[in-house]
Amino acid sequence: MVKAKLNNHGLFPSELILLVGKGEPKESLRNSAQEQNVDENARLEQIANLKASVGEFQFYENLALKQRRNFKDQIAGLSDLCFCVLSKSGDLVQRRYYNYLSENLSHDSLYAINCLKDLLYRSEFQEFEEVNLWSDSGPHFKNSDYLYSACLELPQIFSSKKFKLNYFMENHGKSDVDDLVSAFREKAQVSENISDNNRVYNFQIYRKDAIRGLRIRAKVSSGFRNYLSFYLGDGGLMACPLSLPDPSKYFNIDFRIKVKRDIRTNKYAPDRSNPLGSDTNIMGSTSRNTQRTRMEMLRGIGVSLSI
């Protein structure tokens, strides 16, 4: 397979019932105390969430700055495509991370497809008979080129394997790939292969000058984006609007193969000619301004920003 919320629990004050007028119970004071306590818990939870967001933002800023310093004499940026491979043997679950780094900044389907093929050609993948591919709905994954490669081309290249293509819903899909960020925090140095108990990290170089030939796509007649899972069955290309494990929920869909010359171009990072600045482009200007506003809000209420 290619995956905290802070809860504050407070104790409500003892029940307080006042008898007034004709002896009817008056609970307004108790309700008021409860509402104040709930509001306080909500405020503390909001502060904790903001502080966590600011801490994550500062970590990414520092990480981006270190990356720029390491490559300031070479290039301004790198592409990094990560695959997390989950396999199970008995009760042992192993996670292997494969990062493809490149000076080629063309984040398109060709980049994703070429890296996936290279991954499957590795010797450690020859033993697997079923391959379940999972990815978010980013444009370099969720497109008709990737559908053709995963469901039609790869089964021909690797005839002993069965492939299933799955997508997370839009704006979702946090997965084990995201765990790699926390692993980088613990790694002061990076080598080609790093072993960490049941986690293995591999770093590969994707060629800078990707060869572009024909672009082959599987155009789904009923709309490719309406489905989240695909596989090639005996009756043709099968699909389901959700990523369900039950094959009976899938149905045959019509598609046509479209072939044309790939006119997309390779993009490269410019040479580092300007001195290293203090700011980073890890986020857009709007996101950076939002995070800085949050930091000022926290400082205004006396919350420490140390991480």
pLDDT attached to residue 298: 67
Parse the chain into domains and list their residue ranges.
18-70, 79-261
* pLDDT at residue 26 greater than cutoff 90: no
Supply the pTM of this predicted model: 0.60
pLDDT for the residue numbered 61:
76
Q: Are 215 and 262 in contact (CB under 8 A)?
A: yes
Instruction: Tell me the per-residue pLDDT of 219-268, one tens digit each, with 9 for 90 and over.
Output: 999 889 899 999 999 989 999 998 888 999 999 999 999 999 999 998 88
pLDDT, position 192: 47
CA distances from residue 165 to 81, 151, 153, 243, 245 in whole angstroms, order as listed:
18, 7, 13, 9, 12
- Give residue 181's identity as a one-letter amino acid code: V
Phi-psi region of 197 (alpha: psi -120 to 50; beta: other; left: phi over 0): left
Q: Within 13 Å of residue 92, how many CA atoms lie on the same side as its CB?
A: 6
Q: Tell me the angle at which helices 28-70 and 285-300 cross, rounded to the nearest 10 degrees.
A: 130
Report yes or no: 150 and 230 within 8 Å, Cβ to Cβ.
yes
Q: What is the mean pLDDT of the chain?
A: 75
